[in-house]
Structure formats: structure tokens, C-alpha cells
Amino acid sequence: MDKNTKTITAVLAVVGLMIGLSFASVPLYRKFCQLTGFGGTTMRSTALPDHIVDRDITIHFDANTSRTLNWSFKPEKNQETIKLGQQGLIAFIAQNKDNSPTQGTALYNVTPPKVGKYFHKIQCFCFGEQLLKPHEEMSMPVLFYVDPSMADDPEMDDVTSITLAYTFFPAQSEELDKAQEAFYNAP
């Protein structure tokens, strides 16, 4: 292979790699957020930690629905105070106001965003689509905890409350896709 052919091959390979990375950037960024808690993305866990730290954190609950999803959606209570490492449990109540079955998918985050890596969900309705029959009402529990290691992070000394927020969108909709893209591409 001559010098020009090698150069053209290398340039085409770099261009191909850049095109491939541009298509993979959103899924890769989403995975990064899920692994690190970046941007208020919460962590997933399978069990509670082995100890509780005597530091109170008030968790506020926020529930919203897209204008195009005819559901009512609200938390059973507005807030709960727990210790770091202690199990928290909240149920959100959703009701389909339509005369036909509808599916919704919830996006979630916590604020302030810097606490995302410490907020762990063990069980959550947000991990899949929810189907509600006409006028059906459903209780959707969320089992969570705030990692006790947050007490060792001086960046978290000012955090006394966390807001866990959900917004339901019609499942498999362009609106949901746009909301996910906006969330994962936010600065």
C-alpha cells in the first residue's frame, strides 16, 4: 500500500469512528449518568446498606404528567424524613382518566443533582412501562435509601433535603424520546 492509500484509509477510518460515536453518544452518556449519579440520575440497588447514620434527610416528592397523557399522578405524601442508610418507602398514585387503556413511562431525577450518586432505588415503577385500564387507579411504590457514605462527603454537608421527582409521559412516544434526549443532553 502506498502512502496516499494509507492516509485515505486512516482518514476514512477516523470519519467512520466519529460517525459511530455520534450515534452512540446519547446511550453512552445515559449509561454514564446511571453509573455515576451524574445530573441527578439515581442509583439502582438490590439491598439496603448494613448501617444507618444518625443524620436526618427530608425527602420531598414531586409528581407530574405530560399534557398528552390523561392521567392524574400524585405522591401519597409530600415528604418523609429518614436517616442516611434507612429504608424509605413512598407510593405514588396514578389514575387513567381515559376511556381506553393507556401506557405511561416515568422519567425521574433528584435535586440537588449532586446527590444523585447517593440516592438509591431498590424498587421503582420507573424501571418499566405502566399500563392502566380505563379509569383504573394504581398505587406504585418506590423503595429507596440515601447512602450512608454521604455523611463522609464534605460536598454534601449543606444537603438537608432532597426532592425525588417523576414525570409520566405516554409510553413509546416522540414526546418521551424528546424528554429523555433533553434530560441526558442537559449541561
Name the one residue in this structure whose C-alpha cell is 448494613: 50
Q: Tell me if 78 sits within 8 A of 103, measured CB to CB.
A: no
Q: In the prediction, which pLDDT does 33 show?
A: 39
Q: Which amino acid is it at 184?
A: Y
Place of cell 390523561: 70
**151: β partners:** none
Q: What angle do CA 78, 144, 185 make, to 5 degrees?
A: 85
Q: What percent of the chain has pLDDT over 70?
A: 75
Helical axes 174-184 vs 3-36, angle rounded to 10°: 100
In the chain, where the domains are located? 37-184
pLDDT of 5 reads 74
Lowest-pLDDT range, 101-115, 137-151, 167-181? 167-181
User: With bands split at pLDDT 50, 70 and 90, how would you rate the model's confidence at 36?
Assistant: very low
Give whichever of 53-67, 103-117, 170-184 has the largest mean pLDDT: 53-67
pLDDT digits (tens, 9 = 90+) for 95-111: 999 999 999 999 888 99
The CATH superfamily holding the domain 37-184 is Ctag/Cox11 (2.60.370.10)
Residue bearing the bigger pLDDT, 38 or 69: 69
